[in-house]
Chain A
């Protein structure tokens, strides 16, 4: 009887191990690749050269010494935080609309997913055509309100606005869906209790709904922030980091360094810095999410 139990325990463990093996292997692969990337960043690896010398932190020292690298860090954070903040606000507004029983909400719900299912590079190409200052449809519409030749992705002073605009158009639905799920999760009794206590619509929203969906907003912001800090497709497909260095975020800078200038070691160092920026931002967001969740519960 006992032996049977031991056998069952053993086979259970074996089954568990076999089920987990693919996940362990994939995770191991990721970790291995990450460390390989980190090792590359410590070398002077270049395309077309067989010899690879270990440089220690030389690539990092060279990066930190250059003003343009810090410009890239600032461009990356401005891009990501602005896009995510706009998406959160707009996503909340759309989720609020979805949470009503209006005809508009009924019509919009299925359509909202559309930008999310398009490949980001296709989105970029579509907007590149629409944002062409001379032939694009956006400037045609702007001309009706007296704005002519808006630069969009072609001028340094408008390019950042343009790429953030595309990010917001693409990913606001993601926020809207998650916040909508949060709003649906609020018990009608709580809202009703608020009403009984004399709270008006704004009061209900700011004192009950918003605090209760805040963990959802922060969770969505966490995912989007990770993605936006790594954003490549939208920027490469539109401005390629330009004009000049106006939208030269870290991922674009790493791509240029590694695949255009063929300096793989230096490109890897930029990617590691990018990873570090993402890591720090993600940790802060997770802390914030835990805090808000605790408050709600």
Chain B
């Protein structure tokens, strides 16, 4: 009943807002245009596709979605952008891949659109996006360089975002009498306790594949609380921070944790194995993007529905300050697009306050990137339903500490992929200090 009322109120609100938007702003400026929107096959895409008819009715712009499986999409995106093809107008992208494409001018800067009242609906409110997300998408470019500045250009609009949290099965931890850990050594100890109590349960799952995507969840978030940065200094003193004393301390603890907690298949585990373990009840805890826990908690979504709870990422033993890395799913305009105006109209509609609330309350656009969504009663009521456990409160605890923890760099993947390979070596038994020193030498050679 409550859900029904919420949905009715929301629909009425959206209808009224759409009418207001249509009156105050010329939404039909690009009537008759057809654009192509490329994205990953993902709940975030579903959240937009579900309301596409409304956009087409509002603007007269026809949008052709081209959705691809995850592995295919990112490769195809690189090829489309680098070839200068105008076939795709709007693309889904993350900050890290964008560091490699913006120096060559493959994305359209958006500041001019955002600041132009004839192009942007006055209700749009760009400042409503969480500051960490706006900051992550702001930089200037020089050839082969990202100039990280808060006054820089804006390259994409956040659509939804992942933040790293510790997720755990309440039923398993309760049954085994284990408390959710707060620090990395506590996590290792909790794993040992779980293994002792029930060897059939995998205590903890994190990604382990030899790509930077393994680093961007648990390792970089926990490493920051140990005082580790991927890079330190600037200008002439710019250097890797991965062979520092703090880094050695972190890696020793992290390797020990993986050896005690993770499944034997860790080196081959990507996000799908991590999520599958948690949802099937084979794994007690996982540290990854929080929305996986949310989606599996949705009533009827999995056997785990209502059983996954959330906690901030674990920290160093002597630190109370946790850090949570983010990946921002965003929309950007291909610089080769010949329909940039219509493309921007679609983007501002898809990332508007209204669409954010609708996508979130449909259970798809999680985490919504606008601060106002998190204050919207419809979303608050939805996210606070019992099956989501402490999702809402934990998000509010973590949100002020979220940040993109990688250093913005053109070619950032080289060092970060090498870090993931080194992590596999260390977990496999390589001496931590020696391997980090070798990793740092490789990165320094690259910097030269």
Measured CB to CB, the residues of A under 8 A from B are 46-51, 128, 132-135, 149, 151, 153-156, 238-246, 256, 259-263
Contact = CB atoms under 8 A, between A and B. Distances in A.
B421 A50 contact: no
16 contacts: A47-B78, A49-B410, A128-B268, A154-B265, A155-B267, A156-B428, A239-B268, A241-B210, A242-B210, A243-B210, A244-B210, A259-B75, A260-B413, A260-B417, A261-B414, A261-B417
B368 interface: no
A260 B419 CA distance: 13
B209 A48 contact: no
A256 B209 CA distance: 13
Interface in B353-391: none
A154 B414 contact: no
Chain B CB count within 10 A is highest, among A48, A49, A156, A238, for A48
B79 to A, nearest CB: 10
B209 to A, nearest CB: 6
B202 interface: yes
Contacts of B102: 48
A49 B144 contact: yes
Given A242-B210, A245-B421, A260-B413, A49 B106 contact: no
A51 B424 contact: no
A155 B413 contact: no
A183 B342 CA distance: 70
B151 interface: no
Nearest to B427: A243
A259 B79 CA distance: 10
Contacts of A151: 264
Interface in B89-110: 100-106
B428 A132 contact: no
Contact of B417 (A47, A48, A128, A256): A256
Nearest to A259: B75
Given A244-B421, A245-B425, A263-B414, A48 B264 contact: no
A261 B99 CA distance: 12
User: For this complex, into which size category does the number of interface residues on chain B fall?
Assistant: 35 or more
B181 interface: no
Interface in B234-293: 263-268
Interface string B22-41: 00000000000000000000
Contacts of A133: 263-265
Contacts of A135: 265
A149 B266 CA distance: 13
B228 to A, nearest CB: 21
Nearest to B410: A48
Contacts of B104: 48-50
Q: Which 4 A-B pairs have the closest CB atoms?
A: A133-B264, A244-B425, A243-B267, A48-B100
A259 B82 CA distance: 13
B143 interface: yes
B411 interface: yes
A149 B267 CA distance: 14
Nearest to B429: A156
Contacts of B82: 47-48
A259 B100 CA distance: 12
A47 B100 contact: yes
B211 interface: yes
Contacts of B421: 242, 244-245
A50 B102 CA distance: 11
Contact of A46 (B211, B264, B411, B417): B411
Contact of B264 (A50, A154, A260): A154
A262 B209 CA distance: 18
A245 B423 CA distance: 11
Given A243-B424, A243-B428, A149 B100 contact: no
A134 B265 CA distance: 7
B435 to A, nearest CB: 9
B112 interface: no
B430 interface: yes
A105 to B, nearest CB: 38
Contacts of B265: 132-135, 154
A161 to B, nearest CB: 15
Contacts of A128: 268
B316 to A, nearest CB: 25
Given A48-B82, A256-B417, 12 more contacts: A46-B411, A47-B100, A134-B265, A149-B264, A154-B264, A155-B267, A156-B428, A243-B210, A260-B211, A260-B413, A261-B411, A262-B411
Contacts of B413: 260-262
A242 to B, nearest CB: 5
Contacts of B202: 134
B202 to A, nearest CB: 7
A263 B100 CA distance: 11
A135 B105 CA distance: 47
B57 to A, nearest CB: 38
Nearest to A240: B210
Most buried by A among B104, B264, B411: B264
Contacts of A262: 78, 100, 411, 413-414
A244 B202 CA distance: 23
A286 to B, nearest CB: 36
A133 B262 CA distance: 12
Nearest to A51: B143
A224 B414 CA distance: 33
A51 B104 CA distance: 9
A256 B102 CA distance: 21
Contacts of A256: 417
A47 B101 CA distance: 8
A78 to B, nearest CB: 18
A58 B290 CA distance: 45
Greatest chain A CB density within 10 A among B202, B265, B417 is at B265
